[in-house]
Amino acid sequence: MNLLVIGGGGREHAIIKALKKSPKCETIWCLPGNGGIARDAECYPVKATDLDGIVQFAKSHPVDFAVVTPDDPLVLGCVDLLEACGIPCFGPDKRAAIIEGSKVFSKELMMKYGIPTAAARQFDDPMSAIEYLKTCDYPTVVKADGLALGKGAVVANSFEEAEKAVREMMVERVFGASGARVLIEEFLTGPEVSVLTFTDGKTIVPMVSSMDHKRALDGDEGPNTGGMGTVAPNPYYTERVAAQCMREIFLPTVAAMRQEGRTFKGCLYFGLMLTERGPKVIEYNCRFGDPETQVVLPLLESDLLEIMLAVHSGSLTADMVRFSSASACCVVLASRGYPKRYETGFEIALPEEPQGEIYIAGARKEGDALYTAGGRVLGAVATAPTLRQAIDGAYALAESIRFENAYLRHDIGARALGATK
């Protein structure tokens, strides 16, 4: 089969490497891909948000199946357009992708169907939001309704911080139209777990759980990033918790979307917080997480393409999805300064025989050489029988990669290791 993958980060590199293991896989085209992905797929410079360009490409190539991964093309309706041209896709249509595209939608869905989440109020004018903030307990959480590159949630420790967040989102529109509405949400505490699932709209099959490290600096300090590293499985996510999530969150969500006439097919991502009063949904994503995918897919023992085809055709079964019992760790090497200002254009020296997987996120190719071209440059991933070994392996691999201005966190997995003791 000839496959088309939309996207160009470390997540897409991991997906492409997993798809390539399938005996059914022939050509993979990737739009836009990146300099590292170009070693594993044919990349063309069509942006993931350029839906016309994507459709043009798909019509002029013999694409058998498309995998749409990033949030923005999904929310914009990329799957609807490709399927209208007769190209089957993995990924939700526009009506279903709203589960990530609008936090107001997903909050109302959870309220209506009794799915546990933080209590919240929604506002579409800044003055009433600010009046309400005067009555809140702190910390409190302010969230922009729409997509905001993972930066749309602000945990405010005081009225002043919350008011500033509301003004930035609703008045200055730092996230554009995404800030036209905001949610003001109860602050929850507890360990966070990411659970990626496959669902064909009826059956839902969770992948191995994982833990992201969103903050830029060691000790969970500094600004939120796209994710500085991950481990899988997440030791806080015990079998008992998993069963409770299936009963109270996963199955009800899939049923709710179907009931709303928004059947979700693809990878549904649950961002959960394990509070003292049980697991609650922090966010839904309509896609694979980045860098969660980089630790989850290396542990997948079954054929990813077969699973994706079954999701598309509505024939997914739990026994199609098998994971190894090993652990994995991904350490992100970023450009120093990320997520704020940073310099790029430095040559990346990769080891001849890497001990693990290197998924390239932000690099361009010139001849045979790779140069940094983004905030998150790559993920160094190791799998091993124990979490400790996986963490050590990922750091050893990261050490063997060199480029100027490289930055990494030193404590990926430390909290997870603490939980296993």
User: Which positions lie near ligand AMP, rule CB under 6 A?
Assistant: 118, 141, 143, 150, 152-153, 155, 185-188, 192, 214, 271, 282-283
Q: Is 274 exposed, middle or buried (0-12, 13-18, 19+ CB in 10 A)?
A: buried
Residue 285's binding partner out of ligand AMP, ligand GLY, none, with CB under 5 to 8 Å set by partner kind: ligand GLY
Q: Where does residue 394 fall: left (phi above 0), alpha (psi -120 to 50 degrees), or beta otherwise?
A: alpha
Number of residues engaging ligand GLY in binding (CB under 6 A): 7
Does residue 10 interact with ligand GLY by CB under 6 A? no
Closest contact distance (angstroms) between CB of 120 and ligand AMP is 8
CA 299, CA 159: separation in Å to the nearest integer? 44
Distance of CA 227 to the CA centre of its chain: 9
- Residue number, 11 or 17, with CB nearest to ligand AMP: 11
Closest contact distance (angstroms) between CB of 56 and ligand GLY is 28
- Residue number, 88 or 271, with CB nearest to ligand GLY: 271
Closest contact distance (angstroms) between CB of 349 and ligand AMP is 33
- Residue number, 54 or 156, with CB nearest to ligand AMP: 156
Joined together, the tokens standing for residue 253 give 């969500």
Identify the H or E element spanning 198: strand 192-199
Q: Which of 289, 298, 375, 413 binds ligand GLY (CB under 6 A)?
A: 289
* Helix axes 251-259 and 103-113, enclosed angle (nearest 10): 100
Look-up: residue for tokens 């994995």? 328
DSSP secondary structure string for all residues of 5-52: EEE-SHHHHHHHHHHHTSTT---EEEEE--TTGGGTSEE----TT-HH
Site for ligand GLY in 45-84 (CB under 6 A): none
Q: What is the x/- site pattern for ligand GLY, positions 227-266, by CB under 6 A? A: x---------------------------------------
Closest contact distance (angstroms) between CB of 63 and ligand GLY is 25
Closest contact distance (angstroms) between CB of 243 and ligand GLY is 24
Distance of CA 314 to the CA centre of its chain: 23
CA 186, CA 198: separation in Å to the nearest integer? 29
Closest C-alpha among 211, 220, 184, 200 to residue 267: 200
Does residue 150 interact with ligand GLY by CB under 6 A? yes
CA 250, CA 270: separation in Å to the nearest integer? 8
Residue 289's binding partner out of ligand GLY, ligand AMP, none, with CB under 5 to 8 Å set by partner kind: ligand GLY
Closest contact distance (angstroms) between CB of 187 and ligand AMP is 4
Residue 141's binding partner out of ligand GLY, ligand AMP, none, with CB under 5 to 8 Å set by partner kind: ligand AMP
- Residue number, 156 or 297, with CB nearest to ligand AMP: 156
Does residue 292 interact with ligand GLY by CB under 6 A? yes
Q: Give the interface segment with ligand GLY, choosing from 43-51, 126-134, 287-295, 324-332 (CB under 6 A).
A: 287-295
Distances (CA, A) of 270 to 243, 377, 411: 14, 25, 24
Site for ligand GLY in 201-220 (CB under 6 A): 212
Per-residue DSSP letter, 346: P
Q: Give the interface segment with ligand GLY, choosing from 55-63, 77-85, 285-293, 299-307 (CB under 6 A).
A: 285-293
Residue 155's binding partner out of ligand GLY, ligand AMP, none, with CB under 5 to 8 Å set by partner kind: ligand AMP
Residue 290's binding partner out of ligand AMP, ligand GLY, none, with CB under 5 to 8 Å set by partner kind: ligand GLY
Closest contact distance (angstroms) between CB of 185 and ligand AMP is 5
Distances (CA, A) of 409 to 222, 227, 371, 391: 11, 10, 21, 12
**φ, ψ (nearest 5 deg) of residue 315:** -125, 30
DSSP secondary structure string for all residues of 214-257: -EEEGGGEEEE-S-SEEEES-TT--HHHHHHHIIIIIHHHHHHH
Contact 156, 138 (CB under 8 A): yes
Q: What residues line the site for ligand GLY (CB under 6 A)?
A: 150, 212, 227, 285, 289-290, 292
